[in-house]
Structure 1
């Protein structure tokens, strides 16, 4: 086994979930997914595809009609990306790994803004890169912020790749358009690639239809790859489908990488995605409205707990909270499951920057469950 593989840590979220395995009394908010089932029209489109016998290979880059639909979807949010920049992948995490494979060699320097979903820096490390982390910092109100000067100092001509996830999992932090512009201009000077994980861009509670995107401040020739997924905004976590927006001239190389990774995404899954995009103008705003209510319900209730530090996130589907006595977030998360039936993700799962914090996914069909969870946390205090 390669050393870089042997050193990979196991999932701390899974470790907590395993502590509550088999218990039906646990209120589980640890995983990053809604408990809503995929909409019926998406399931029916996939079923119809299977009934037609569409069980064969498709184009490496995805069905032509799906790629065109994604181009039009992107155009409505950020301007037309063009016909030669979109590749369909088997999950958003697969898209992230493909981006890393396209860009990173062993020994390359990669900078990641953290806390961050652990898969992103781990993928670079699997490929033999050296990952440096630039930490967000929490304010007194619990909102996390980026020190732009510290990021610019960390990203030098020696930096091959910058990894950014905004809106951010787990903190809810996001970038302003001015910050994105400053980062793009700096990376142009250093020759650094940007991989922007914008999976949560539609789970956005600010003005407009989506969070600020790097696509809004770049040209088709910039060293930028934007990663998306059908998992969150379309309630399709188990379907494992994502897509990439690449710079011009890189699509053929991505098609080759796709052949060597997964060959292609299943056709019936892509048919479901087409149905999801066809109804997105109605379904996504409705989902965001429900999530906004869940967010406000949870964050309002958490604000009544003594000593709890958290901010209402402007994007994503997570509350990130600091609780007195939770210095060892993994141990605390396990104790909350075993002693109080409350399943939260430990902040340490997202890197040392998140230690002492807990992540709470508020994407629930029933906001009353969130209030029940807050009461369990109230009874657990002080930890």
Structure 2
């Protein structure tokens, strides 16, 4: 049953609301779950699907969580918007890492970055408001926008520009209903990093037209080579009063399972989002918040070691992917994803099958090479694959080697 058909039913006939029925499952989590299920069944599947570091959470963070478990204060409800000491530490960490000076009252602690994104859009959007979304996009962005009543408007960039959109493209997408620009650098799924000049040009364009900006900075510490991270409200300070910054501990500190993120923005927007959270989930787990407090208050030695490993894997995976005929993979400058074009392989015969799109190609790769990748359709751009290189060096080389062997048969 399609969303359109569901919406046409009477309320008594409709088992699932049209709003929620239209949501797609997270493609990245679905691929990861399928890979894990196959591995559990005894198949030697190598998964490039999930975007999470393969490192353990640093010991001092785990120890802070263990100590929190024994503190009776954390056995009770705490403020829905976050522990006051964590909000203060997040404000200090933000000033330290990006130069963005904010007050604790501008911080909302959430159950992971996804909740921060949804609640921010819910606080900003009215039905029909448009959000300009540089594409390829992370799968959750458009779903969060739709759930909040907004309309995502895709602005597509491809490998010829390193997956970076231009001001001219953004302006062409702007309409009288445009309210928010989504800006992500470093990017998931492409690894694209915008230069300071590009960040400034885009920020000034948004300010000129009175647009809000939601900027996701969760990969701020994962940049490589000569690339540098630049926080948009720092580069364009006139946007401070119309900008929401989303971040979290997941990627920097290898804490994806701890589920602690945050949103930083103008006090009225943060207060509105906190009111929503007070009814949706109340406070984030106090033990996880205590762990996050230790993380953001500590140094960045752990992420420096992870970044060194990711950089090594980044160069390896790009080299190996570009050795496959029909594959073109720009070098990502941030995050931990490669996003190769596989359009040169579509329609070619591979072991008796002719994949017509990247969904079918991903299925062939999983079934024939036992390698799990995410098709570009999940990110708004068919004809591509996303591979996370946040996995061990040996598995990475083995997985791409299997792909090389399989796809060399394409004819």
Matched, 1:363 2:407: no
Q: Secondary structure at the match of 1:13?
A: helix
Q: Secondary structure at the match of 1:163?
A: strand
Conserved 8 A contact 1:19-1:337: no
* Structure with greater Cα Rg: 2
Matched, 1:79 2:99: yes
| Superposed displacement of residue 258, structure 1 | 2.2
Aligned residue for 2:350? none
Q: Please give the TM-score of this superposition, normalised by the length of structure 2.
A: 0.86
Aligned residue for 1:118? 139
Conserved 8 A contact 2:241-2:265: no
Q: Distance in 2 between matches of 1:63 and 1:214?
A: 26
Q: Please give the TM-score of this superposition, normalised by the length of structure 1.
A: 0.92
Change (3 A) 1:176 1:155: farther
Q: Secondary structure at the match of 2:154?
A: strand
* Runs of 4+ more than 6 Å apart: none
Q: Cα RMSD (Å) of the superposition?
A: 2.0
| Superposed displacement of residue 186, structure 1 | 2.0
Spell out, residue by residue over 1:16-64, the C-alpha distance to the aligned partner (whole angstroms, 9 max, x if none). Answer: 4455423240011111112222122211211111122322211222112
Conserved 8 A contact 1:231-1:240: yes
Matches within 5 A, 1:1-383: 1-17=16-32, 19-20=34-35, 21-23=37-39, 24-53=43-72, 54-83=74-103, 84-139=105-160, 143-207=162-226, 211-219=229-237, 221-323=240-342, 324-326=344-346, 327-351=356-380, 353=381, 355-364=382-391, 366-381=392-407, 382-383=409-410
Conserved 8 A contact 1:92-1:229: yes
Spell out, residue by residue over 1:167-191, the C-alpha distance to the aligned partner (whole angstroms, 9 max, x if none). Answer: 1111111222222222222222322
Q: Distance in 1 between matches of 2:77 and 2:404?
A: 52
Conserved 8 A contact 2:215-2:246: yes
Q: Secondary structure at the match of 1:225?
A: strand
Unaligned runs of 5+ in 2: 1-15, 347-355
Unaligned runs of 5+ in 1: none
Structure number having the greater helix percentage? 2
Spell out, residue by residue over 1:306-363, the C-alpha distance to the aligned partner (whole angstroms, 9 max, x if none). Answer: 3321011111100111233245111111221121111111111111x2x111111101
Q: How many residues align?
A: 377
